[in-house]
Amino acid sequence: MNNNKNKVNKNPQFTKVQITQNNPLEFDMSHDKISKALRDLKSLQYYIMGDEIGGKDGTYHTHIYAVFSAPVRFSTLKKRFPSAHIEKAISTHSSNIAYVEKSGKWAHSEKGLTTVPNTLEEYGTRPTDSNGSNALLCELYELIKDGKSNFEILEANADLIKYFDKFDRIRLTLNTEKYKKCWRDLEVTYIFGKTGAGKSRFVMETYGYENVFRVTDYTHAWDTYEGQDIVVLEEYASSFQIQKLLNYLDGYPLKLEARYSDKTACYTKVFIISNLNLEEQYPNIRDEQREVWNAFLRRINKVIYFKDSDTIIHYDSVSEYFHRDNATDQPIIKMDF
C-alpha cells in the first residue's frame, strides 16, 4: 500500500502576500515597525498598507499587500508578524492594491467607509498587471490552485467567465497531479434513520454547504464534482454496483467517471445517508458473497442512527453497531462481524 499521505504544506512560499494585523499598537506593530520588518527582506519589491476600523466589531487593524522578487516562506513572515493573519494574495496586483486603498469597486462599498484617513503608505514602484488574456489565465490558475470553486472564481473576477469552459479542465489537471500518487485516508460514516430526522442537514451544517458534494443521481454521479473534500451519498439503497462502491470508499488514487471529462477523487470524508439500516444494504451480497459484504463493512468507520430529530445514537465502529444492546429500539439482523 502506498502510504504517501496527502498533507497540506504548512510552510508555503509567497511572492504576493496579504497581511492583516489586528490591534497593531497593542502588539507593538506601528507602521514604522511593519515597514522595517518588510524592508529587512531582501526580495521585497513593493508594499502598500492602510488602517481600517472593522465595521461590525470595531477592531482597529492594518492591511498590507506586499510583493517579492523571490518566494518568501510563511515561517519567515510569521517571525516578523507573529500576531498577524498571513495569506497568499490571489488575483491581480491592481485588485489587491485597490482592496488596501479602498479604490475602484471598494470606494463606495461598506468596506470603503471603514478606512482611517491619512494612514495609507506605499514603498517601491507600484507593480502593473500583465496585459490581455495571459494575465487573466494566470489569475484563473492561481484561483483554482488556491481551491476556489467556480462560483468563487467568478465572484473574484467576472471577466474570467470567458474562460469558464477551462475551469474544470485546469482543476482536473491540478488535482490529477496532486492526488495521482497519494493515498487518501478516508473516513466513512453510515447515517440512517427516518425521513425528516435531519440526517443530511446534520452533515451539511457541520461541514458547510459549500464544502459538500451531494450525490443524488447515481447514473451520472460525478458530472458536477469539483474536488470537494466531503461527499454525501443521499438516500442510499444499494445504489451503486457493489464493486464501484468499494472503489469509491478506498483510499487509492481514483478516476471518477463523468460524461464530459473524468474527475479525480480528492475527498477524504464520505457520508452514506439512508432510510435503511446498514444490514439492509446489498442483501443478496450479504447472504451470498460474505467476503464482499465484509469488505464493504470494513470500509465503514462509524455508524450514526437518527432515531428521531431529538435522539441521535453514535457507534464508533461497525462492530459496536452490530453488537449493540438496544435491540428493542431498532430492527436488527444480528451479524457475526
CA angle in degrees (0–180, nearest 5) for 314-315-316:
115
Mean pLDDT computed over every residue of the chain: 88
Residue 150 shares a structural domain with residue 221: no
Residue 29 has pLDDT above 90, yes or no: yes
Domain termination residue (choose one: 154, 179, 204): 179
Sign (positive or negative) of CA dihedral 41, 101, 141, 171? positive
Mean pLDDT of 262-277: 93
Task: List pLDDT tens digits, range 272-312.
Answer: 999 999 999 999 999 999 999 999 999 999 999 998 878 89
Q: What is the pTM of this model?
A: 0.58
Residue 206 has pLDDT above 70, yes or no: yes
Task: Classify residue 180 by its DSSP letter.
Answer: T
Tell me the Cα Rg of the chain: 25
> One-letter amino acid identity for 260?
Y
Contacts of 297 (CB under 8 A, 6+ apart): 278, 318, 337
Sign (positive or negative) of CA dihedral 76, 78, 79, 81? positive
Residue 166 shares a structural domain with residue 294: no
Q: What is the CATH number of the domain that holds 321?
A: 3.40.50.300
Query: Cα–Cα distance between 49 and 100 in angstroms, integer?
Result: 6
130 φ/ψ angles, rounded to the nearest 5 degrees = -65, 155
Residue 30 has pLDDT above 90, yes or no: yes
Residue 317 shares a structural domain with residue 271: yes
Task: Classify residue 160 by its DSSP letter.
Answer: G
Q: For the chain, give the longest Cα–Cα distance.
A: 78
pLDDT score, position 195: 86
Task: List pLDDT tens digits, range 90-148.
Answer: 878 888 999 999 988 788 777 767 889 999 999 999 998 766 677 788 888 888 888 88
In a domain, 7, yes or no: no
**What 3-state class would DSSP assign to 261?**
coil
Split into its structural domains, the chain has a count of 3
Residue 45 shares a structural domain with residue 167: no
* Confidence band, pLDDT 50/70/90 cuts, at residue 9: low
pLDDT score, position 8: 52
Residue 165 shares a structural domain with residue 206: no
Range of the domain at 59: 13-129
Query: Cα–Cα distance between 29 and 49 in angstroms, integer?
Result: 12
pLDDT score, position 263: 87
